Amino acid sequence: MVVGISVLLFFLGWFKYLNFVNESLRSIATFMGWNYSIPYQEIVLPLAISFYTFQAVSYLVDIFYGKQKAERHYGYFSVYFAFFPQLVAGPIERAKKLIPQLKVEQRLQYENLVYGMKRIAWGFFKKTLIADRLAPIVASVYDSPNPSGSEIVLATILFSIQLYADFSACSDIAIGSARMLGINLTENFKQPHFAVSISDFWSRWHITLSTWLRDYIFFPLCKRKKKRSEIYFAIVITFLVSGIWHGAAWTFVIWGLIHGFYRVFGDATKSYRERMASFVRLDRSPVLHRWLKITITFLLVCFSRVFFRSDTVSQAFEHAKLFLSISSWSPVGMIKAFEIFPLFDLLLFIFFFIILQLFQYIERNNGSAWEFLSKHSTFTRLAFYIFLIFSVLVLGVTGDGFVYGGF
């Protein structure tokens, strides 16, 4: 197991992180006045290496601990690692769930085809009508040499919406494509921007990555650890790995450490916050209390995404400073910041964002929006499906692929 994981991580490190380490060492050498002559290496990053490396590591570990039997058939083994719907951006599947499905003879089923096409259409709706419409607007602010504080605040909030729409759309398309083949993939998102804490957020966002980090990084680090300080250290290391996995840049490292700090701080202050809520009688208004926690969590996540979106560390700290400035949140400044939107694009975004929120509202109250829709008349369902397809084909725009395709 150790040899196998070492080989896997060596190749991941070589292809993805060699230049990151090389350039970091060059910066240190320049600062110290040393001579450093190793040049930048032109390396082509293999498709989906981050995702299938994690699947391979989980496979080896599960076999070692007896949770999964080694697959002797090279065909099933290969399809598990290279199953095309989820290869580029997940979900990150475990062998215990995916391989048994590959061994079952799949027949073309009407229900699977219909559900798969619904999920694919919904994915294209979020991708082309929300994510890719927001992408150039967010880029216009983050690429600007002198953005205003209010523009950074607005662009960061919009980027959070863009990132969710983009990544969840990719998962929808992957899940839908697999379902058409009779394969059930793991749900990767559960409305993360309605989380009431950072811990809750990570149980809703990129769920297959979060559970992978929990099972293969956090739990091993916490084995036989009882001191709270040791557990907190394991939390920080886990989020540090998450940051490094997302990208070979110090901005991602800092982003991971921020979430590690959030998680530790949230756990350490939980009892104090509960007593404070009781003292101000906020707990007597559960709806208000819940929405306050949702708002605070969302803003904390948005702040961390300043580092996720910025190109360099210095730029990230400049943007973070603007994001935290009180003047950046002034109503006048925020209204003026909306000038980054062309009027037509703003109206379209508001309309389709409302559709997305209605869809999520139905999911929160009925479990599945698709089941809710199936209870209505054929005319209603057909009208909604035509609306989805028509909107994507006529009003949808295309960008530079999926954001998580780069990880």
Give me the active site residues, please. 246
Sign of CA dihedral 321, 324, 325, 329: positive
Sign of CA dihedral 309, 352, 363, 402: negative
Q: Is-contact 132 336, C-beta < 8 A?
A: no
Place of tokens 């559900």: 115
**Nearest in space to 398 (alpha carbons), one of 128, 120, 196, 52:** 128
CA distance 29 to 217: 32
Q: Is-contact 234 218, C-beta < 8 A?
A: yes
Q: Is-contact 353 126, C-beta < 8 A?
A: no
If DSSP codes are grouped into helix, strand and coil, which group holds residue 83? coil
Q: Is-contact 55 97, C-beta < 8 A?
A: no
Q: Is-contact 155 138, C-beta < 8 A?
A: yes
Q: Is-contact 236 244, C-beta < 8 A?
A: no
Q: Is-contact 243 255, C-beta < 8 A?
A: yes
Which residues, other chains included, contact 401 with Cβ-Cβ below 8 Å and sequence gap of 6+?
none
Angle value at C-alpha 153, between 244 and 250, nearest 5 degrees: 20
CA distance 198 to 167: 19
**Nearest in space to 362 (alpha carbons), one of 375, 346, 373:** 373
User: Residue 41 — φ and ψ, nearest 5°?
Assistant: -100, 130
